[in-house]
Amino acid sequence: MPLETARLLSDSTPSAVTVLRLENASKQYLTDGAPVPALENVDIDVNIGELVAIVGRSGCGKSTLLHLAGAMDLPTSGRVFIDGAETSRLSDAALTRLRRDKVGFIFQSFQLLPTLTVVENVELPLLLAGRPAPRKAALERLAWVELDGLQSRFPHQLSGGQQQRVAIARALVHGPKLLLADEPIGNLDTATGEVVLRLLRRIVDEQRVTVLMATHSTESTAIAGIIVRLRDGRIEEITRPSGR
Amino acid sequence: MLATFYRFFIRPLRREPLRTALTAFAVALGVAVVLAIELAGTAAAGSFRASLESLTGKADFEVTAVGGLAPETLTALSTLPAPLTVRARIEDYASVQRTRETVPLIGLDMVAEALDFETGNASEQTWREDNIWVGPRLAKRAGETIRLIVNDRTHTFTVAGILKETPGSGEAGNVVVMDLATADRMLARNARLDRILIDAPDTHPVEHWEALLTTALPRDAALARFGARTEENRKMLAAFRWNLRVLSYIALVVGAFLIYNTISVSVVRRRAEIGIFRALGATRFGVLAAFLGEAALFGLIGAAAGLFLGRAMAEGAVHLIGATVESLYVSSTPGRIELGWEAALFALAIGLGISLASAFAPALEASRVTPIEAMARGRAEYDARVHRTRDLLFAALLGIAAALASRMPPVAGKPLFGYLAALLLIAAGALAVPALVSALSMAGSTALRRLLGVEALLASRSLVASLRRSSVLVAALATAIAMMASVGIMVGSFRETVLVWMDSQLRADLYIRPAGPAAADRHPTMSPAVPGAIEQLPAVEAVDRFRALRISYRGLPVTLGAGETRIVERYSRTRFLDGDRAEILRRLPTGDFVIVSEPFANKHRVHRGDRLTLNLAGAPRTFEVLGVYYDYASERGYIVMDRSTLLKYLPDPAPSNLAVYLKPAADLESARAAIERATAGSSLLIMSNRTIRTEAIKIFDRTFAITYALEAVAVVVAVMGIAGALLALVIDRRRELGLLRFLGASQPQVRRLILCEAGLIGILANIAGLALGVVLSLILIYVINKQSFGWTIQFHWPVGVLLGALTVIYAATILAGLYPARIATRLNPIEVVHEE
C-alpha cells in the first residue's frame, strides 16, 4: 500500500515505541573533491518489533541507510535518532556506547573472527562492553539459534548457514533494540537462506527486536512487515504487505 | 618487464612509505654497523706499523733481542763483507707533559739517515743534546720547547725541526725523533739498541742474506724479515677484531629476519596477483626474480644509506676500539678512516647479500604458488601452523648439533666451531619460536583476557592466527635480546671475575709507576734508587719491584715479568689453575723457573711442567713452568720469573712498577706524601689500591662499551622492524579492526589491542631471548672467549643489568606499537568492512 508520506509515525519527536527515526536525513560523500549524494532527505520512523526490508538496486543507498541507522556514520544534514538519542549530538565514545547497548549488526559475509571460537565470537560484544557473565549469555544465545554443542568450534569448521546463525547470535547477545542486517542471505543457498530468514522473523516475533534489513531477494521481502524501496538515494515507495 | 615490476612492487612500497623506510633503514643500520667496525678496526689496527717504516722507508731485515742488543752487534753487522746498509734504533715512548699524550720516541743516527723535514734540517743544526724533531701533529714550530716525560723523568727539549708527514704514515704524525746518543742517555739504555734495521741488495736471494747475517749475530738475537713485529701485533689482535666483527654482524642478522618478514608479507598480500600472473603465463622463475628484485631494492637502498651511516659511526667506534687496543694489547694511534671503493663494494655486497639470502625462502614459496592455490586465503598461515612440530624437531636437532660443535677445539686459534654453535643455537631458537608463540599465546589467552581484557585475548589469538609473521618478529627481537643478554651475562660474569681476581691479586696499599698513560706494551722504568728510598720510610713494610719487558714468543708478543716472589708469597693470593700455590712460589726463586698467565698458557698450549725457551743474555735459556696462574691484566699473556732470575741474565735493576705494602698502623695519605717527598725529582704516578681498582674497572667498562653499542643497534633494528611489521599487520587486518568497531569496540580499545600485540611480541621475545641468551652466554664464556682469549670466567648473573635492559626493550616494543595503533584507530570501519 503506497503511503502519501514517507513518515510512518507523524509525531515530530520519537515516541516511546519508535526505535529508529531518520528526519530529512541526507548523506553526501566526497569523490575527487566533488560531493556525491548517497542518501537524500530520507524520513523514516521504525517502531519496536517491526521488520523493515530496504530494497533497491546496488548503489541506491541501502548500506548508507544502515550505517546511519547503526550510528556507524553521521548524516551530512538532517537528524537520526536511535532509541530517542540523536546521533549527531553524541561524541565518538557515546556513539560507541549506543552501538554496544542498542544495535546489532549482521553482514552478508558473516564477518566472524576466524581466530576466535564460536562462543568467543558470540560473547565478543559483551566483552567489549565489559558486561558481566558473557559466557553464560553467549551460550544461551547459541542455544536460541540452535547451535548449542558447537561452541568450541572455529568459524571455518562451520557451514555458511551455521556461520550466519553464529553471527545472528552475536548480534543479539547484548540484547539490542535494533538489528541491522546487510544482505543476510546473500552468501547462502536458498534452503539455508530460508532458515536464516525464519530466524530473523522469530527474533522480531519472540524478542520484539526491530530488524532493518537491506536486501535484494524477494524471499527476504516476503517476511518483512514494511518494505522501503530506495532509488538513487531517495525513498521511492514504502509498502506494508498485508498480513504483517 | 620493468614497468610491470614498478606497478606491482615499487608502487605498493610507495603507498606505505613509512614501512618501506623502516625496512630499508633496518638494512642500512645493519650494513652501517658492520662497515663501521671494519673501518674503525682497520684504522685502529692499521697504525701498528713502526713509525720509522713511514719515516725512513722499509728495510729488509730487523734484529732484536730481549733486553736490547749490545753495540758490538751493530759493529759486527756493519763490518760484514757485503754491501749492507745497517741502521740502529732505540724505540720507546714519551708523554707530552702538557697534554698527557703518549708519543713514540725514536732514537736514530740523525746525520747518517736522511729524513724528510717540513722545516729544519738535521745537518744544519748546531748539535745540542736537547734537540729533537717532531711530527707535524704535535703542532710545534722549530725553535719552540716541549716538555716530555721519559721514563720517570721530565725533560725540556728544543724542537729543532718538523718532520714531513706522508699520507698513511700512521704514527709518524706525532712521533718524536732524537739522536741515538740522546735517546740512549734519556732512556738509560747503557748503549744497548732496541732494533737494528738492515737493507740488503737484490743481488742474492733473501736466504743468502739471512745465512750471512746469522753468522754475525749473538745467539740471543732474533733475525726477522722487516715488519715481523707489525705482523705479530696483527696476529695478536686477530681474535679481538674477529670477535668484534662477529658481534657487528648481529644487527645484520636481525635485519635479515625483517627482510624475510617484509617479503613474506608481500607474498601473502599478493597471492591473488601471483595467481593471475601465473595464469597469464608468468614463469615460476619470473615470480621468483620479481620478489628477489623487491628484496634487492631494499638491499641497495640499505647499502647506500649504510655506507654513509657506517662512515659516521666509524668515527665514534675508532676511539673506543683504539682505547681498548691501547689498554689491552699494544700502543696505537688510530689512523684515518678511509672510505674507498673497496668499502663501498663491501657495503653493497653485504646489503644485497643479506637481503637476497633472507628473501629467498618466501620468494621461492611465491614462485610455487599455483593459480588455484592463490585463491585459497590463509594457506600460508595454515602452513606455518602445521609445520610447528616439524620445526620444533629441527630445532632440537640443531640444538644437539650446537652442543656437539661447542665441544670442538679452535681452528687456527679461532673459535670457529664456537661461532657455529652460536649460529646453530640462534637458528634452533628461531625454529622453536612458532611453537613457543602458539603454546604460550593459546595457554595464556584466558589469563590474559582476565588480566588485561578482551583486547589481550584478541591480540594473543591474532598472533597465533598470523603465526608465520608473528614468529619472525618474535624471533628477530629474541635474537637481538639473546645476543644482548648473552653478552651482558658474559661481560657481567667477566666483570665479577675480574673484581674477585683484583681482590686476590691487588693486595698492596700503593702502586707506583712512571708517569704517563699506561698501555699493555709500554713498560717505562724508574730509577733503581726509587724503591730503595721508599723502603727506608718508616711507614713502609715491603716494596715489590716488578720489571716488565716486551718480548716475542713463537711469533706473538708477550710480556716477560719479574717480581719479588717472597713478597708475593707473603701478601698476594695469586691463584693457580692447579698445583700447590705455596710449593710453586717456594720453588720459583730457586732456579730457572717461571709461572705463566692463563691467556699465555692457552694461546701457546703450555702446561704446568712444560719447558719454555727464551733468548736471554746471549743464548737460549730453558725455564720450567711451575704453574699457570689466573690473570686478567693483559690478553697478550705473561711469563713471570723471580727478580733474581731475571737479574742473573739481564743485570738491569730498574723496575717498571712498584707495589708498596704499608705497616698495619700506617696512614695511607701520610705514607703517600712521604713517598712523594722521598721521590721528588722523579715523575711517578702513585695510585692507591682503591684508585688502581677503579681505574682497572673503568678500562674494563670502556673495553666493553662498544659491545653494548653493537647490541643496542641490533635491538634498535629489531624494534624498528616491529614497528614496520605492526603497521603492515594493521593494514592487513583492517577489516577485522573495522568489524570490532561495528561490534561496539571503542577507539581506545582498538588502540589497546595493537599495543597488546606489541606487548605480547615483546614478552614472548623477552622469554625466548633470555632463555636463548643464557645458553649463548655459556658458549661465549666457556667456548668462544676461552678459545679466543684464554680467560676463565666464572658464571655470574648480572641481574640488575639484565632486568634493566629487558625492561627498556619491552618499553621500546610497546612504543613501537604506538604509531601503528594510531593508524588502527583512524581506520574508517565502514570503508574497511565494505571493501571486502
Chain segment B384-400, per-residue pLDDT in tens: 455 788 889 999 999 99
pLDDT confidence tier of residue B46, bands split at 50, 70 and 90 = low
State yes or no: pLDDT of B48 exceeds 70.
no
pLDDT at B709 (0 to 100):
84
Do A92 and B461 make contact, defined as CB atoms within 8 angstroms? no
| Range with the poorest average pLDDT among A192-206, B171-185, B566-580, B687-701 | B171-185
| Residue of A73, A96, A113 lying closest to B744 (CB–CB) | A96
Distance CA(B145)–CA(B280), nearest Å, equals 84
pLDDT confidence tier of residue A9, bands split at 50, 70 and 90 = very low
How many degrees, rounded to 5, is the angle at CA A169 between CA A174 and CA A205? Answer: 85
| Residue of B461, B745, B829 lying closest to A116 (CB–CB) | B461
DSSP-based helix, strand, coil % in chain A, nearest 5: 35, 25, 40
Q: Does A110 touch chain B (CB under 8 A)?
A: no
Beta-bridge partners for B688: B510
pLDDT at A5 (0 to 100):
39
Do B465 and A174 make contact, defined as CB atoms within 8 angstroms? no
pLDDT confidence tier of residue B7, bands split at 50, 70 and 90 = low
**Chain B partners within 8 Å of A82 (Cβ):** none
State yes or no: pLDDT of B655 exceeds 60.
yes
**Cβ contacts of residue A182 below 8 Å, gap of 6+?**
A62, A63, A66, A105, A106, A107, A108, A213, A214
| Residue of A67, A128, A130 lying closest to B743 (CB–CB) | A128
Do A113 and B458 make contact, defined as CB atoms within 8 angstroms? yes
Mutate to test the interface with B, among A67, A98, A113 (most CBs of B within 10 A): A113
Q: Does A72 touch chain B (CB under 8 A)?
A: yes
Q: C-alpha distances in angstroms, A55 versus A58, A63, A182, A214, A236?
A: 9, 10, 11, 6, 10
Beta strands in A32-168 (DSSP E): 34-47, 51-55, 77-82, 85-86, 103-106
pLDDT at B51 (0 to 100):
47
Note whether B163 and B177 are within 8 A (CB): yes
pLDDT at A10 (0 to 100):
39
**Chain A partners within 8 Å of B461 (Cβ):** 113, 115-116
> What's the pTM?
0.79
- The pLDDT tens digits for B773-806 are 999 999 999 999 888 888 888 899 889 888 988 9
Do A128 and B747 make contact, defined as CB atoms within 8 angstroms? no
Is B10 or A237 the better-scoring residue by pLDDT? A237
Highest mean pLDDT among A66-75, B60-69, B677-686: A66-75
**Closest by Cα among B386, B378, B385, B364 to B269:** B378
Highest mean pLDDT among B71-80, B91-100, B560-569: B560-569
Count of residues in chain B: 836
pLDDT confidence tier of residue B115, bands split at 50, 70 and 90 = low
- The pLDDT tens digits for B343-400 are 889 989 999 999 999 889 888 888 887 766 665 544 444 444 557 888 899 999 999 9
State yes or no: pLDDT of A8 exceeds 60.
no
| Residue of B462, B749, B836 lying closest to A128 (CB–CB) | B749
Mutate to test the interface with B, among A39, A90, A111, A117 (most CBs of B within 10 A): A111
Distance from CA of A47 to the nearest CA of B (A): 22
What is the percent of chain B where pLDDT is above 90? 28
Q: C-alpha distances in angstroms, A81 versus A69, A85, A90?
A: 8, 5, 11
Q: Does A47 touch chain B (CB under 8 A)?
A: no
| Range with the poorest average pLDDT among A191-205, B106-120, B534-548, B552-566 | B106-120
- The pLDDT tens digits for B195-218 are 898 988 888 888 888 888 988 888
State yes or no: pLDDT of A4 exceeds 60.
no
Q: Does B836 touch chain A (CB under 8 A)?
A: yes
Q: Which helix (H) or strand (E) holds B661?
A: strand B657-662
State yes or no: pLDDT of B5 exceeds 80.
no
**Closest by Cα among B802, B721, B784 to B251:** B721
State yes or no: pLDDT of B52 exceeds 50.
no
Q: A1 burial class (0-12, 13-18, 19+ CB within 10 angstroms)? A: exposed
Note whether B797 and B745 are within 8 A (CB): no
**Chain A partners within 8 Å of B464 (Cβ):** 115
Note whether B466 and B423 are within 8 A (CB): no
Distance CA(A21)–CA(A63), nearest Å, equals 16
Q: Does B382 touch chain A (CB under 8 A)?
A: no
Distance from CA of A105 to the nearest CA of B (A): 7
Mean predicted confidence (pLDDT) in B291-315: 90
State yes or no: pLDDT of B610 exceeds 80.
yes
- What DSSP assignment string belongs to B509-566? SEEEEESS---TT------THHHHHHHTSTTEEEEEEEEEEEEEETTEEEEEEEE-HH
Do B743 and A127 make contact, defined as CB atoms within 8 angstroms? no
Distance CA(A157)–CA(A116), nearest Å, equals 12
pLDDT at B124 (0 to 100):
53
Amino acid at B13: L
State yes or no: pLDDT of B296 exceeds 80.
yes
Q: How many Cα neighbours within 13 Å face the side chain of B461?
A: 19
Q: What is the mean pLDDT of chain B?
A: 84
Do B457 and A170 make contact, defined as CB atoms within 8 angstroms? no
State yes or no: pLDDT of B750 exceeds 80.
yes
Q: What are phi and psi of B544, to 5 degrees?
A: -100, 120
Q: Is A61 left (phi over 0), alpha (psi -120 to 50) or beta?
A: left
**Closest by Cα among B466, B543, B522, B486 to B714:** B486
pLDDT confidence tier of residue A126, bands split at 50, 70 and 90 = very high
pLDDT confidence tier of residue B472, bands split at 50, 70 and 90 = confident
Is B172 or B92 the better-scoring residue by pLDDT? B92
pLDDT at A53 (0 to 100):
94
Distance from CA of A4 to the nearest CA of B (A): 33
How many degrees, rounded to 5, is the angle at CA B767 between CA B762 and CA B770? Answer: 110
Note whether B290 and B270 are within 8 A (CB): no
pLDDT confidence tier of residue B123, bands split at 50, 70 and 90 = low
Nearest CA in chain A to B739: A111
Do A115 and B740 make contact, defined as CB atoms within 8 angstroms? no
State yes or no: pLDDT of A167 exceeds 90.
yes
State yes or no: pLDDT of A16 exceeds 80.
no
- The pLDDT tens digits for B493-517 are 999 999 998 888 888 999 998 876 6
pLDDT at B143 (0 to 100):
83
Q: Does B224 touch chain A (CB under 8 A)?
A: no
pLDDT confidence tier of residue A88, bands split at 50, 70 and 90 = very high
Mean predicted confidence (pLDDT) in B83-107: 85
Note whether B102 and B520 are within 8 A (CB): no
Beta strands in chain A (DSSP E): 18-31, 34-47, 51-55, 77-82, 85-86, 103-106, 178-182, 210-214, 226-231, 234-239
Rg (CA), chain B: 32
Is B266 or B228 the better-scoring residue by pLDDT? B266
Note whether B136 and B173 are within 8 A (CB): yes
**Cβ contacts of residue B23 below 8 Å, gap of 6+?**
B258, B259, B262, B298, B721, B724
